[in-house]
Structure 1
Amino acid sequence: MRLTQAGHSNESILKDKFIAVGVSGGIAAYKACDLVSRLVKAGAQVQVILTASATRFVGPLTFQTLSGRPVITEMFDEPKQWNVAHVSVADAADLFVLAPATANIIGKLRCGIADDFLSTTLLAIGAPLVIAPAMNVNMFHHPAVQENLAVLQSRGAVIVEPDEGRLACGVTGKGRLAEVERILAAITETLAGRERASEKADSSRRGEPEIAASAGKSIETGAGCSELAGYRVLITAGGTREPIDPVRYISNRSSGKMGYALAREALRRGAEVILVTTPTGLPLPEGAEVVHVESADEMYEAVMSRFDAVDVVVKAAAVADYRPAAPAEQKMKKQADRLFLELVRTPDILAELGRRKERQVLVGFAAETNDLETYALDKLRRKNVDLMVANDVTQTGAGFGVDTNIVTIFDGRGGKETLKLMAKEEVASRIFDRVIQILSNSCD
């Protein structure tokens, strides 16, 4: 049984929660049957809403049997009780999950179009929204779809990235609906995060000290600096590309997802954000200043030229340690059975930041495969960082290219915080909680 960060099982988090499941018209609609079944087994009350197109793939009777309640398909169905149906569902929902989410429904939601029951209800909800896109690979990567997802994400929606694989149209690429396990993890982590926020609010009303996690002006209170407005935060993301020739390069498995989650979290808390990123294919965080780079040398120049003007640096990018000494000017042809490349060291960006830093808060990352604590602490000391976020990339759910992570946060005072498996958005939130603590101490 998988536990969320808050220590709750899926069953305890979902028990008696009212979950609205919106199903739009894609071939992946059949996977929503498993999602509904597992939500119900975990104790949730589930209301399924189907678009007209979705009913062409899976009939309402199937979802009615799985959920144990009538399925809503039409705006003008005769109401079972006297209320405005879409408002009633929206008000009652503890969480709304859209799976699968087609390009059409994503576009409608971004633009505020309400022309059927599902789109109308989506505009009326005040509960957290989890969106799991599924579509053709070219559709998913279309700039319009990526922009729509970025806007929805900036409004607070949790996006569960689709998987890569063979699609219904016969091509292979990114666009398959995420596995139900990942969607469930996003749902439970989102609900757990909401409960923690509610607990923090209750503590605040009782006068107990806490570190604020909402966006807004950084002000002095009895607890010191509590928010990120007025601060400039620089975040690096992705894996660098070191050219071998004009066609080939050396890189790593970093997807950039952790860095982008950090950028969104810093923006949510009111910071001015600079995102230095390699090519990732991810939706760009709306509101951030984005600096595009490819190689370690380019990232070094982009970061160093901006370092003096920022307050916080989070080095989440995976920077190559070595690069080809002499990249070929033309494409190298296949000739001998063996090819030898001479590699030279790339600039150590984190170490240089540690040498130069004065007032800045510096956060580093350590992706390890063994002896995690030993290597992380050594890196923390050698590079003079305030926080070192370490993960064992061999652990399921903590490697590259996934939406979750398992990290341990070390600080320069000997502190250590080990987090359970959680969504990268929640990891980002916990990291900035620690950053705010450091900023708060500097205001005392």
Structure 2
Amino acid sequence: MQILQGQTLTFTDNPFRVPPEAAIRHERHGAVAIEAGRIVAVGPAEEVCAAHPQAPVSDYGAALISPGFVDAHAHYPQTAIIASWGKRLIDWLNHYTFPEEARFGDPAHAAEIAARYFDLTLANGTTTTVSYCTIHPESVEAYFTEAQRRGLRALGGKTCMDANAPDALRDTAQSAYDESKALLERWHGIDRLGYVITPRFAPTSTPEQLSALGALWGEHPEVLMQTHLSEQHEEIAWVAELFPEARDYTDVYDRFGLLREGALMGHAIHLSPRERDRLKEAGASLIHCPTSNTFIGSGLFDMDGLMREGQRIGLATDTGGGSSFSMLRTMAAAYEVAHLRGTVLHPALLWWLATAGSAHALHLGDRIGTLAPGYEADLAVIDLASTPAIAQRAERAADLWEVVFPTIMMGDDRAIRATYVGGRQI
């Protein structure tokens, strides 16, 4: 048993559906009690400490104790090429991504990058990640092995490609099925790990491979499936050429059994009304990657319109196409993208997207993303005055969100006082 003291913030409802003040529980002098990796109590510090008088206390003062951040879409093999200059999506893949991913058949290289990736995400308060690996089973082994060593909740899968990719990065329909199935059976549900069936995107898979992966998902409906959808106009036109029989990009996945609840559709920027209706009907999750969308010049995600439709939406860095490992920076970019579309997102909406919202998108909302008894004790402790610029703005704040918003807009890893995974400071 241990107790963390500070300001506590968690969500009791979706602030996109109810006023933010009705969706949060905030304690100015709060505490979280943790035992055996789970939260056992949250509330006013006096009450929590009185109920557990023998528990040691870590007092974080005015720092904010929050659920750890949940990054719903990333590419850990691209860690070393983050912030590479000057390319749009297809050129980015050919010039930077594919040459780097070709190195991940080497277990030592994969292990080195996996360790570096988790060092960086944990330093930024991110406690759950969903990553594409490479076509190499070694890349998946490295990712899950490192996550397991640290006790993390982590999801990922072997990226499958048998078309329009370098020969060194192609598998086949059969090997994609066989290797994905073997990795799924080896890792899914072990400790806090989850396998995700992973066709990269429609242009790099033949119909035979998409069909094979759809069949695998049908055999294992308990796992998630991740892919990319409608990121850039050139990509959409390419898909139309490759799959002329499909009504649209979304329909390609639908035809091969890759669209239902549990599908994580990265980007989903340029969607037709029919696609939006079908994605909502299927119960798919749309994963917003704002720093990537601006860095690679993809477009502006329609957060307001999609939320009004009742879509399930998560938030993600999309490293290394995304330009930061920080979910604070990702929240800031989501604010800026929405502003360019004419919508001003309240800070509560941004924080929800990075915690409970992304957990809900991953169908893990009953385990992570919330400070409540029974939930896994994955926490981030946020210094709301981490730099002189942030501190001087926060001093003038009239309410909680005026204190939090400068950290969203200007914060980075310096704002992370501590990260807890399964109740352990890590």
Pair member with larger Rg: 1
What TM-score do you get using the length of structure 1 for normalisation?
A: 0.30
Decide which structure has greater helix share: 2
What TM-score do you get using the length of structure 2 for normalisation?
A: 0.31
